[in-house]
Amino acid sequence: MRLHSPAFQKRLRRKVKAAITESAALKKEYRQARKYRRRYSLNWFGRGALSVGLGILVYNIAGLTNHPVTALAAIAIWMFGWIFFRAQSLWTLLHANRDIMALRLLPISDAAIFRWQIQKFGQKSIYSLFDLMAGLGGLVLFLDLPPSAWLAVPLIAAIGWVTLLALAALCVFFVPRKARQIIASGFIIGGFFSLYLSRFVARPILEFIDRFGPDLISFLPTGWPVSLFQLLPPNPRWSALVALLPIALTIWSLTYSIRRLRNGFRFEEQLLPVAPDIIPTSETEASGTMPPANQHQVHLGLTAIEELIQSRKFLEPVSWQNRGWFERWLWGWLDARERVLSEFAFPRGYAITIPWRNTFRNLVVAVAAAFAAGLASPTLKIWILGFGLLVTSAQALAQMLGSGNSFRSIFCSGVNIPIYAGFGIGYRELARLLIKCSIVQLPLFIPFVMVWSVLIEQLYDVPWQAGIVFGFKGSILLFAARFILITFRFSGSTNDSSRFRSRSFFLMFLVVSLVFAFLGLGGAGLFVPDAMAAWMMWALAVLDAYLLFRLYGRLYNANRFDLMSVPR
pLDDT tier for residue 334 given thresholds of 50, 70 and 90: very high
- pLDDT, residue 384, reads 85
- pLDDT, residue 261, reads 92
Q: How far is CA 558 from CA 427, 445, 551, 555, 564, in A?
A: 11, 35, 11, 5, 16
Q: Supply the angle between the helices 126-143 and 147-174 in degrees, to the nearest 10.
A: 140
Q: Is the pLDDT of residue 1 over 50?
A: no
Specify the higher pLDDT residue, 520 or 447.
Answer: 447
What is the distance between the alpha carbons of residues 368 and 49, in angstroms, rounded to a whole number?
43
- pLDDT, residue 494, reads 67
- pLDDT, residue 567, reads 54
What is the distance between the alpha carbons of residues 73 and 66, in angstroms, rounded to a whole number?
13
Q: Is the pLDDT of residue 320 over 90?
A: no
- pLDDT, residue 279, reads 65
What is the distance between the alpha carbons of residues 452 and 396, in angstroms, rounded to a whole number?
12
Question: What would the mean pLDDT of 305-316 be, rounded to a whole number?
Answer: 72
pLDDT tier for residue 285 given thresholds of 50, 70 and 90: very low
Q: What is the dihedral of CA 407, 412, 416, 421, to 10 degrees?
A: -40
Q: Is the pLDDT of residue 171 over 70?
A: yes
Rounded to 5°, the CA angle 414-417-422 comes to 130
Query: What are 449-452's contacts with CB under 8 Å, separation 24+?
Result: 449/396, 449/474, 449/475, 449/478, 450/475, 451/363, 451/367, 452/363, 452/389, 452/392, 452/393
Q: Is the pLDDT of residue 44 over 90?
A: no
Domain ranges of the chain: 43-264, 277-289+297-316, 325-557
Specify the higher pLDDT residue, 424 or 411.
Answer: 424
Q: What is the mean pLDDT of the chain?
A: 83
Q: Is the pLDDT of residue 546 over 90?
A: yes
Predicted confidence (pLDDT) per residue in 477-497, tens digit: 999 999 998 988 887 766 655
pLDDT-above-90 percentage for the chain: 36
- pLDDT, residue 249, reads 95
- pLDDT, residue 449, reads 92
How is 322-348 classified by DSSP, letter by letter? GS-HHHHHHHHHS-HHHHHHHHHH-TT
Contact predicate 452/366, CB 8 Å: no
Model's pTM, two decimal places? 0.73
Question: What would the mean pLDDT of 160-177 be, rounded to a whole number?
Answer: 92
Q: Is the pLDDT of residue 238 over 60?
A: yes
Q: Is the pLDDT of residue 453 over 80?
A: yes
3-state secondary structure of 102: helix
- pLDDT, residue 55, reads 92
Q: Is the pLDDT of residue 83 over 90?
A: yes
- pLDDT, residue 293, reads 47
- pLDDT, residue 133, reads 94
pLDDT tier for residue 504 given thresholds of 50, 70 and 90: low
What does the buried/exposed string (b/e) look like for 178-191 if buried means 16 or more CB atoms within 10 Å of the residue's CB?
Answer: ebbebbbebbeeee
Residue 220 φ then ψ, to 5°: -75, 130
Which residues, listed in sequence order, are joined to residue 411 by a DSSP beta bridge? 416
- pLDDT, residue 3, reads 59
Reduced DSSP (H G I as helix, E B as strand, rest coil) percent helix, strand, coil of the chain, to 5: 75, 0, 25
Which parts of 23-109 fold into alpha helices (H)? Answer: 24-33, 43-65, 68-95, 98-103
Predicted confidence (pLDDT) per residue in 519-532, tens digit: 888 888 888 888 89
Which residues, listed in sequence order, are joined to residue 412 by a DSSP beta bridge? 415
- pLDDT, residue 265, reads 85
Question: What would the mean pLDDT of 223-242 be, rounded to a whole number?
Answer: 91
Which residues, listed in sequence order, are joined to residue 415 by a DSSP beta bridge? 412
Q: Is the pLDDT of residue 502 over 80?
A: no
Q: Which residues contact 135 (CB under 8 A, 6 or more apart)?
A: 54, 55, 58, 71, 74, 75, 78, 226
3-state secondary structure of 565: strand
- pLDDT, residue 563, reads 58
What is the distance between the alpha carbons of residues 341 and 429, in angstroms, rounded to a whole number?
8
Predicted confidence (pLDDT) per residue in 191-222, tens digit: 777 776 677 778 878 888 888 888 888 888 99
pLDDT-above-70 percentage for the chain: 86
How is 488-507 classified by DSSP, letter by letter? HHHHHTS-TTSS--HHHHHH
